[in-house]
Amino acid sequence: MTKPIVNGTSSVVLKVPSVQLLHEATHFYTEFANLQIKSEDSNSHVVLTSGQPFPETSANIEIVLDTSVKLKDSTYLREQKLNFDWRSLTSTIVFRTESIIEIYNKVKANGHLLDHQVYPSELAPIELYVIDPLGNVIGFTLVHHPLSSNPPLESSVSTRPSTTSQSTASSSTVNLSSYAQEILSTPKRNIAVMTSGGDAPGMNANVRAVVRAALFRGCKAFAVYEGYEGLVRGGPEYIREMDWQSVRGWLSEGGTNIGTARCLEFRERKGRLKGAKHLIEAGIDALIVCGGDGSLTGADLFRSEWPSLIKELLETGQITKEKFVKHQHLNICGTVGSIDNDMSSTDSTIGAYSSLARICQAIDYIDATANSHSRAFVVEVMGRHCGWLALMAGIATSADYILIPEKPASSKEWEDQMCEIVSKHRSRGKRKTIVIVAEGAIAADLTPITSKDVLKVLVDRLGLDTRITTLGHVQRGGTAVAFDRILATLQGVEAVKAVLESTPDTPSPMIGIIENKICRRPLVEAVKLTKQVAEAISQKDFKKAIGLRDSEFVEHLHNFMAINSADHNEPELPESKRLNIAVINVGAPAGGMNSAVYAMATYCMSRGHTPYAIHNGFSGLARHESVRSVDWLGIEGLGSKGGSELGTNRTTPQETDIGLIAYYFEKYQFDGLVIVGGFEAFESLNQLEKARKDYPAFRIPIVLIPATISNNVPGTEYSLGSDTCLNSLMDYCDIVKQSASSTRGRTFVVEVQGGNSGYIATQAQLACGAQASYVPEEGISLEQLDADITSLKTSFASAEGRSKNGKLILKSENASKVLSGQTIADIITEEAYGRFDAKTAVPGHVQQGSVPSPIDRTRATRLAVKAVQFIEEKDPLIHKFRDSLEFDSLNKEIAETASILGVKRSHLRFSSIRQVYDFETSLAKRMPKVIHWEETREVADALVGRTKLPKT
């Protein structure tokens, strides 16, 4: 039922120049607005009403014949439908309705498809705008009034409106998704986004996500150009309203397109007063800031002063009383963009891993030259108060020594330490030396340690041919890696959600990530902890400085020190506790496998264990007894190599000869086993655990480190190799998309690997901005394909040949047995009728990557060390049962000695193979039962404006 007009009026008079238009207008309002004729003179005057029982609450439309008036020209509105927001028109008449889908069906069924706008999307429509026969824009909304925050929920929504009015009643309906309900239940605001401080790769992705997430939720989006400087200067040049197309193509661009600048004026109250005035003039009531701790500190101070700022603006006559009342509160949210990764309360900041990727790539190149000439290289990286980049680069590239501000030694001690380690490495046959220096490196007396200082020590004391490489701003440049694009996007979406949910009493949030989960943290507390690190360093309290870093930082530092010592120092454990630990690769090769093997072996050496490598999987062990003890020099440089140097295959123990495998386990007296691999490795762990009752050789701690590009191993949300795969696929898609953009009218259908898992396709859609991704979990319906092709038609029509308009569609290889990538491309080309075309692109095994990404290298190290620690912890428990006739495989403690080491939400956890295999796995699909990334699909679709249809 259509309710009274929501903009405060109860009646409207419309004048028409002809009798024919009077009849057409009458039909329009009775048909679409469900108004009833209250009185009429069919040739000159008609009064329509909403039919409410009480006249004071009814909506009346009076249509009057007046031949002197001219009909409104709506040509511009119709032509610019895709570029102009009809909601901004002040003359728009808006009705409240509880049947917006029914009206939407009528609009499409009556040929008004090209003359309507729907917000926030067809997925969850809240507002519908059409043009009446007189050229007026007429709106229908679910909300009670224009600023309502709680529109009524319909019991069901037709997500694909019927094409005929007769079928409206029978059109398929589904309950509103949780994502759509969130959109309906949140208020509408005018949201601005700005970038501040140093630029970082991924900032553009963050801005894009904020803009489109705001528009998708029915809000207005603005960008503040040039950071706080733009806020102080104000005006349309610096504070610009953004539309959907404003951020097209930004995902693949480095830096920040809206600019950033330092602003001394904003540090003073006078400058912040100007900023407040300019925000109010633009109608903005929420601000999202992407920057470092300084930028976020300024944002929170701005919010805390807001009440006094607007009061002063009112008292000085710079704003009206009406604006003062309307803008009582400013909601602030921070997303952290910083290559240093120096913000507390989050594992990673936007741009940090992109910067780390530049560093690792440069050191990989330097490594070859250093090895060729037997040289030493001193590599200086950024990080004034934080050594994260130097530490992680040290782990990822197996550097000989690192110097970071959090852990300095005395002026003499660091020289002795470095020379001792480098000398031991050289004495064991290593030809090259890499020392990484953070720009903020200091000695214990706070004396700076420069690259030249390090070079002098290496030359004078060790006589090494040494060079310095200062990477400088190369670390900031270039496009963001896949992780940063996805992180920035998810944080941007969460930031919009946060400001919409914030109340005047809600502390300003900072959006971060813990392990694998996007989270909110109080901005003030995060900034306070971050600043305390620098204060602790300045006070020479280095123990406190490290303690204030996140636990993962401390863990990585301990790991680097352990694997760097390898077999060069006295082992930490007594001989009685030293074990024989084997490592094996099972399944398809994945980036990070070699890194895991290297870290496992070197950590074992530092502890006193003997590491063994089983080559060519279980079949290699059974057929060729391919077991080798690991030599330190033999694995030097292994961590930065792609593929699997040990060799790998998909054969499980039962498919080879499990009895013979048990024999070799017994022969070499293995006390523990680390399996690195995908679903076949998962299956192998299950088989070994079940065989324990018959083969005592398997009664040892066994741990699986998931490694597969498909990321389909149950018990974890992250597998080694998936990040390397995403980076390779992203680079491939960026190139293909560039080709499509150059052609101006082309779509590429890209075949994506992943088996029965749509993880890679979904994440790549998010990272590349693909129009759609088809995954095995959903399949491909003809209705959805038709909707996606319609979307392509609309997109190409609105682009009008502009740049950055290449389109991608991603298809998982197992998404459909019938619709191949080529078939989909052919259908798109056929349906385009010559207006555009579609081609296929198959990256194939390019997706497995070459050199593993820094994320896969460092996570492999962390997981491998954890795996060895797990074996050390569980060995005493199961050892006493090794030859026992009373071995109880159902005992919970014993069952937990065979586990998967995985990431679950915000935690790193060991999960028993029995629990995961028996209760959490879909064996037929080779997948976990719960798809942890399912919500990401809704975000990816929302940010490209895709209409998602329900599965029938």
**Chain segment 771-782, per-residue pLDDT in tens:** 999 999 999 999
263 plus 220 within the same structural domain: yes
Cross-strand pairs, 468? 378
In this prediction, residue 91 carries a pLDDT of: 55
Whether pLDDT at 308 is above 70:
yes
Say if residues 427 and 462 touch (Cβ distance below 8 Å): no
Q: How confident is the model at residue 3 (pLDDT cuts 50, 70, 90)?
A: very low
Tokens of 869: 């620690």
Question: Would you say 383 is a known binding-site residue?
Answer: yes
How far is the C-alpha of 222 from the C-alpha of 820, rounded, in Å? Answer: 41
874 plus 764 within the same structural domain: no
For the chain, counts of helices (H) and of strands (E): 29, 33
3-class secondary-structure state, position 28: helix
How far is the C-alpha of 48 from the C-alpha of 62, rounded, in Å? Answer: 6
Element (H, E) at 209: helix 203-216
Element (H, E) at 419: helix 411-427
Say if residues 925 and 779 touch (Cβ distance below 8 Å): no
CA dist 22 → 76, 93, 200 (Å) = 23, 18, 59
How would you classify the pairing of strands 746-752 and 837-841? parallel
In this prediction, residue 159 carries a pLDDT of: 31
Say if residues 867 and 579 touch (Cβ distance below 8 Å): no
**Chain segment 613-642, per-residue pLDDT in tens:** 999 999 999 999 999 999 999 999 999 999
In this prediction, residue 833 carries a pLDDT of: 87
CA dist 839 → 88, 176, 404, 765, 819 (Å) = 39, 35, 50, 17, 14
For residue 929, tell me if it sits in a domain: no
How far is the C-alpha of 639 from the C-alpha of 557, rounded, in Å? Answer: 17
18 plus 92 within the same structural domain: yes
Question: Would you say 517 is a known binding-site residue?
Answer: no
How far is the C-alpha of 106 from the C-alpha of 491, rounded, in Å? Answer: 38
811 plus 791 within the same structural domain: yes
Output b/e per residue, 438-447; b: 16+ Cβ within 10 A: bbbbbbeeee
Closest CA to 946 of 791, 737, 836, 812: 791
How far is the C-alpha of 592 from the C-alpha of 341, rounded, in Å? Answer: 22
Tokens of 90: 């002040």
Whether pLDDT at 54 is above 60:
no
In this prediction, residue 763 carries a pLDDT of: 97
3-class secondary-structure state, position 50: coil
Q: How confident is the model at residue 411 (pLDDT cuts 50, 70, 90)?
A: low
Question: Would you say 406 is a known binding-site residue?
Answer: no
865 plus 830 within the same structural domain: no
160 plus 252 within the same structural domain: no
In this prediction, residue 458 carries a pLDDT of: 97
In this prediction, residue 936 carries a pLDDT of: 92
Render 299-355 in DSSP notation, one character per residue. HHHHHHHHHHHHHHHHHTTSS-HHHHHHTS--EEEEEEB-TT---TT-S--BTHHHH
How far is the C-alpha of 880 from the C-alpha of 38, rounded, in Å? Answer: 92
**Chain segment 276-297, per-residue pLDDT in tens:** 999 999 999 999 999 998 899 9
754 plus 804 within the same structural domain: yes
For residue 559, tell me if it sits in a domain: no
Whether pLDDT at 481 is above 80:
yes
845 plus 856 within the same structural domain: no
Backbone angles phi, psi at 574, to 5 degrees: -70, 160
671 plus 774 within the same structural domain: no
857 plus 843 within the same structural domain: no
Q: How confident is the model at residue 123 (pLDDT cuts 50, 70, 90)?
A: low
For residue 382, tell me if it sits in a domain: yes
Domain count, the chain: 5
**Chain segment 217-270, per-residue pLDDT in tens:** 889 999 999 999 999 999 999 999 999 989 999 999 999 999 998 899 999 999
Say if residues 855 and 723 touch (Cβ distance below 8 Å): yes
How far is the C-alpha of 615 from the C-alpha of 7, rounded, in Å? Answer: 74
Q: How confident is the model at residue 120 (pLDDT cuts 50, 70, 90)?
A: low
Render 587-627 in DSSP notation, one character per residue. SS--TTHHHHHHHHHHHHHHHT-EEEEETTHHHHHHHH--E
Cross-strand pairs, 921? 928
Question: Would you say 905 is a known binding-site residue?
Answer: no
How would you classify the pairing of strands 116-119 and 127-131? antiparallel
Query: Omega of the bond prior to 120 within 30 degrees of 0, cis?
Result: yes
In this prediction, residue 153 carries a pLDDT of: 37
For residue 178, tell me if it sits in a domain: no
Cite the beta strand spans of 368-493 per DSSP E: 376-381, 401-403, 433-438, 466-470
For residue 40, tell me if it sits in a domain: yes
3-class secondary-structure state, position 220: strand
Cross-strand pairs, 140? 95, 128
Please tell me the pTM assigned to this model.
Answer: 0.82
Question: Would you say 755 is a known binding-site residue?
Answer: yes
Question: Would you say 263 is a known binding-site residue?
Answer: yes
Domain membership of residue 111 as a residue range = 2-164
733 plus 822 within the same structural domain: yes
Closest CA to 658 of 685, 687, 680: 687
CA dist 632 → 321, 428, 601, 611, 629 (Å) = 75, 9, 8, 10, 10
Q: How confident is the model at residue 800 (pLDDT cuts 50, 70, 90)?
A: low
What residues are annotated to the active site?
340
Residue with tokens 């018959």: 694
For residue 246, tell me if it sits in a domain: yes
How would you classify the pairing of strands 220-224 and 239-242? antiparallel
Q: How confident is the model at residue 196 (pLDDT cuts 50, 70, 90)?
A: very high
For residue 403, tell me if it sits in a domain: yes
For residue 628, tell me if it sits in a domain: yes
Domain containing residue 590: CATH number: 3.40.50.450
3-class secondary-structure state, position 295: helix
Question: Would you say 754 is a known binding-site residue?
Answer: yes
Single-letter residue type at 527: V
Half-sphere exposure of 92 (CA within 13 A, CB side): 22
CA dist 905 → 102, 519, 754, 920 (Å) = 40, 10, 21, 15
Question: Would you say 473 is a known binding-site residue?
Answer: yes
Q: Which of 450, 475, 500 is the last residue of a domain?
A: 475
Domain containing residue 383: CATH number: 3.40.50.460
38 plus 105 within the same structural domain: yes
Question: Would you say 926 is a known binding-site residue?
Answer: yes
Mean pLDDT of the chain: 87
